[in-house]
Amino acid sequence: MEKGYRFSFGPWNIHTGADPFGPPVRDEFSFDEKLDIAVNLKFDGIQFHDDDIVNVDLSAPEIEKKTRDIKKKLDDRNLKAEFVAPRMWEHPMTVDGTFTSNNPQARRYAIERTKKAVDIANIIGTKNLVLWPAREGTYQRESKDAKIAIDRFVEYLNSILEYDKNIRVLGEMKPNEPMDASFCPTTGHFLALASRTIDPERVGILIETAHAILAGLEPSDEMGFALSFGKLWGIHLNDQNGLKFDEDRTFGVVNPKRALSQVYLLEKYKYGKNGEYVGLDVKVLRTQKKEVSFKHLQYSKEIFLCLVDIVRSLDENKIEELREMQDYEEIDRYITMKIFGK
C-alpha cells in the first residue's frame, strides 16, 4: 500500500505483443515471474480470469487443488486476489454471446462456467466476481430481441446471487468491441439492471477508463455516478487516444488532465477505504523488449501517485470560491498549471 492505496494488475497485462495483425514479438514471462514482478513493483493484488488460475474443464477436485496451489504462490509473496472473472467469450459455443445468446446451450454454459468461477474465487480468497459481458450484444440489430436479452441478463445475475449468498458481482461495462453494440454499455445501464436482481446490494461496478471514453463519456463522471450510489467497487485505470479500439494505454499518458479528474474524485471520496484496489488494465506496447515489458505498469502507478500528490496540494477553498464566481477558466488554469508544476 502506498499513500493509502492498494494496487493490482492482471497476468494478461504482461504479454508477448501478439495482436490481430501480427505474431508474438517477445518471449512470455512465466506465471511465477509475473508474480515476482508484482512484488518488485510493490503491487498488492492480482486480478484473475478463472482460466488464469486453472483449466476450468478439469474435475472439481482438480480445480480445487490447482487453485490452492496458486493461492499458496500468492500467500508466499504477500499478494491477494482482487477478483475472479469468468472468461466465457473465447469458447466456440459463445460466438453469439453467453447468457443473452439465442442458443439455450450457451446460456446454460454461461451459468455453469460462472458457478465454477465463484468456486475458484472462494478458494483463492476473494468475494469479488467481475463480469465483462463481452459478447452480450449484437452485430445485427434484429438478430436478438433486446428486451428478452435484458431479461436473460437479470436471470443470469440472479442465478449467481442465489448460488452463493456472499459473492459480489462487479459489472465492467463497455459499449462495443468485440460486438458491434452492447446491450448494457454504461455504468448507468448496469446499475438500472442490477436494481431488478434479487439482491441489488451485492451488485456493483468496476469502471474502466477506456471503456467510458469509448462510450463518449468522461471516466470521472462515470465514477461520480457510481460513487453517488455507493457502487464503485473496482476500477481499471488506463488511457485512450480517441474513439477507436480499446487501447489500454498507460494511465495518464494521453490526457493527464482527464487522469487527474479521475484521481481527484477517488481521493475526495476516499476510494479504497473499504479495501478497494486501484486496478490497472494497461497493455505493453508491441515495441517493448521483454526485459522492459512491465514499464507500463510501473509508470501507470507512478503517474497515479504523482497525481495524488497534485490533488492533495490543491486549495479546495480557492476552487470553491471560483465555483461560486463561475470562473471556470481560472479553475482550468489553476489545475493545469499544477499539472505543469507551476
Task: Write the DSSP symbol of residue 23.
Answer: -
| 3-state SS assignment for residue 114 | helix
Nine cell digits for residue 234? 473496482
Say how far residue 71 (Cα) sits from the centre of its chain: 21
| Number of neighbouring beta carbons within 10 Å of residue 28 | 15
By DSSP bridging, strand 137-138 and strand 181-182 are: antiparallel
Q: What residues contact 274, with CB distance under 8 A and at least 6 apart? A: none
- Verify whether residue 19 is a known catalytic residue: no
Distance from C-alpha of 236 to C-alpha of 10, rounded to nearest angstrom: 10
Question: Which residue in 44, 49, 211, 248 is the catalytic one?
Answer: 49
Q: What residues contact 117, with CB distance under 8 A and at least 6 apart? A: 50, 56, 84, 85, 86, 129
Nearest to 184 by CA among 169, 196, 174, 197: 174
Distance from C-alpha of 14 to C-alpha of 36, rounded to nearest angstrom: 12
199 and 205 Cβ atoms separated by less than 8 Å:
no
Question: Which residue in 51, 52, 239, 246 is the catalytic one?
Answer: 52
Nine cell digits for residue 60? 472439481
Spell out where 202-323 has E strands. Answer: 203-208, 232-237, 277-280
The burial class, CB within 10 Å (0-12 / 13-18 / 19+), for 64 is middle
- Verify whether residue 76 is a known catalytic residue: no
Catalytic residues: 49, 52
